[in-house]
């Protein structure tokens, strides 16, 4: 249920890209607001505050509706966040596939994926907020289900991207896509944590350098 960042956070939800063109509807209040607009408003507020400060009133204000609308639609804040997580649990693979379509080079697409995930760490405080939501995902069984589904989808998509990099000669024939996909997944999340500790340069630079360390020995120079 962490913010759908580049997600939503580095360790799971990668759905920030889905919300870039979905704008909360502001006052005057509309007669009908879509779930997607309510989710976008939720994401907007989650990017500003941690789970302890997140309220239906704040989400409603961002969406241009009353809190009663959210209660009628979802019943509670928990159910709203759970529905959001379930709705976009399969989005991570789609995001990687979209990046693959936007880049002729599979490794360029992989770099774009890492850079997008690093957007969650525009500051140590922003990353800390994502981790606070992640704590709920890990400790609440219902939230962990979509978290795991998304993580698996991300790994599958990364594996396909690395397989394509081998097929196109960007990586050596003996490069192991499945193992590298697992390593990339771990590297992105771990890099953001270590960057927040050292705070040297930007998170994007930190992740990019670590990604090069991982993939550099397998590159062919093509």
Phi and psi torsions of 7, nearest 5°: 145, -165
Same domain, 45 and 149: no
Same domain, 128 and 185: yes
Please list the pLDDT of the chain residue by residue as tens digits (222 residues): 544 433 444 334 344 444 444 444 444 444 588 999 999 999 999 999 999 999 999 999 999 999 999 999 999 999 999 999 999 888 877 888 899 999 999 999 999 999 999 999 999 999 999 999 999 999 999 999 999 999 999 999 999 999 999 999 999 999 999 999 999 999 999 999 999 999 999 999 999 999 999 999 999 987
Domain presence at residue 83? yes
- H helices within 140-173, ranges in order? 141-167
- Helix, strand, coil content of the chain in percent (nearest 5): 70, 0, 30
Same domain, 24 and 42: yes
**Global pTM exceeds 0.85:** no
CATH number of the domain within which 122 lies: 1.10.357.10
Domain presence at residue 65? yes
- Residue-range definition of the domain harbouring residue 76: 16-87
Q: What is the largest CA-CA distance in the chain?
A: 60
Compute the distance between CA of residue 63 and CA of residue 104 in angstroms, rounded to an integer.
38
């Amino acid at each position: 249920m962490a913010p759908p960042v580049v997600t939503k956070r580095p360790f799971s939800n990668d759905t920030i890209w889905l919300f870039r063109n979905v704008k909360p509807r502001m006052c005057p209040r509309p007669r009908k607001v879509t779930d997607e607009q309510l989710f976008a408003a939720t994401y907007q507020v989650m990017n500003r505050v941690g789970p302890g400060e997140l309220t239906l009133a704040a989400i409603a204000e961002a969406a241009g509706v009353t809190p009663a609308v959210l209660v009628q639609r979802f019943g509670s804040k928990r159910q709203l966040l759970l529905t959001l997580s379930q709705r976009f649990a399969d989005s991570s693979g789609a995001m990687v596939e979209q990046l693959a379509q936007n880049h002729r080079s599979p490794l360029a697409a992989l770099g774009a994926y890492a850079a997008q995930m690093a957007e969650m760490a525009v500051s140590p405080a922003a990353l800390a907020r994502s981790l606070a939501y992640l704590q709920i995902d890990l400790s609440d069984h219902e939230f962990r289900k979509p978290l795991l589904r998304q993580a698996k989808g991300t790994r599958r998509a990364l594996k396909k991207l690395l397989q394509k990099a081998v097929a196109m000669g960007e990586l050596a024939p003996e490069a192991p896509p499945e193992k590298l996909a697992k390593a990339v997944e771990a590297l992105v999340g771990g890099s953001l944590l270590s960057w927040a500790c050292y705070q040297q340069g930007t998170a994007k630079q930190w992740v990019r350098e670590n990604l090069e360390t991982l993939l550099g020995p397998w590159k062919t120079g093509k």
